Structure 1
Amino acid sequence: MIKNKKLFAASLALIVISVALNFPFPHENPLGEAALMILNIPIKSADGFHYAGVFILLLLVLGMVFLHRSLERYHLRSFFAVIIIVSLLPPFLAEAYQKTLAGGIYAVSYIKDESQCNFEMIGEETLQGICELPFENYSNDEVSFTIGFYERYLTEEGVQMLSLMNSGEPINVKLLPKEAKVVRIETEINVSQIKNHVESGEAAYVSIIIKSGDKNRKL
């Protein structure tokens, strides 16, 4: 079945690397993107070209080419098997690790697609922000952390919205063992010294950073 063991080994190595770089943990971005950010290498170009994604795709394609050439038969089966593995394995492994072995903030799941924030001016210089953020603690221990907000995408005018929730005291959250709850955060923000800020609006898929000691996760 295997006609070239060296090519087969090289193909497996490239496929494993592409899976590892696409691993969505501990941050929202895959490990490949997180590594580029740590090294201050841009993930995207100014015109939207996605460096990290293209690099991972190239590794995967090269691995599949090597795999095809290393096998005597079952080329089509191996192609579909690799596609399934690369698509489903990273999120499955991340979830399995979080539910079984992870501890502290790494055992905390943030259900981003159910999060939301609403903003409304309640005075000439006061903006009220209300956010609801769903969390679940998979561990058997109590977990405490602080929450920070960041703008995933800024408008062309640079109008601030989510990051305004960082005004005031740190936002502390405590989750009991195996607890799932929606954390409601209400903040009144003095915007008199802020030139570009939202006056009213709402946001979903709220981008946050949770921190505990020297550990943090960008979600």
Structure 2
Amino acid sequence: MLELVIGNKNYSSWSMRPWVLLKHFGIAFTERKLRFSRDPQSPFHTELARISPVGLVPVLVDDGFAVWDTLAIVEYLAERHPEHAIWPRERQARARARSVVAEMHAGFGALRQHLPQNIEARLPEVGARVLAEQPAVQRNLDRVVGLWTDALQTSGGPFLFGEFSAADAFYAPLAGRLITYGIALPPELQAYVDRLWASPGVAAWVADALAEKDFIDFEEPYRQQA
């Protein structure tokens, strides 16, 4: 059976993406969660060193074969499970979905830096301050609004490319950031966020994240400033 090695669900946006995808499509897997730590002797680092040369989560392990990097994991799953429309079936939609996933994979650095994932928190005052002080975050947000609007108008929804796909799994953590930091969206995009947050895989991850109650100081920069 597949094993997915992940970090804390409250904080690990990269782990969230393949986990949500596996859950949504009902692909059987086991989960191994390693608590984030900066201690090089902690299980997070020692266990990861045994299975991955990069020492980062997530890692997918298939009968001893490790796949790291979230995008590589998604492509591996799509090839392993062609019965599921992990990518859209139509060629141009599939190409566009891969384009927007690659953009998420490599971009939105300011938004990631200044609005880190923290699913259980509600920090609208931080969101307002960041948007006022960090124009690069607003530019990232403007791009998200444009990207989502175009995809939903082209596909007709309910998800970015019609049915739930890898693109929605990749943008689910970003949607969570917008919730955490109280970022206002146009009504049609807020409706998309609500649908995404209620989808089975995302809802299961969020429920687990809220149940964790494992708060890590270096993952809580805004609480430390309060």
Indicate whether the TM-score tops 0.5: no
- Structure with higher Rg: it is 1
Considering Cα pairs closer than 8 Å and 6+ residues apart, tell me whether 1 or 2 has the greater RCO: 2
Normalising by structure 2, we get a TM-score of: 0.30
Relative to total residues, which structure has the larger helix share, 1 or 2? 2
Relative to total residues, which structure has the larger strand share, 1 or 2? 1
Normalising by structure 1, we get a TM-score of: 0.31
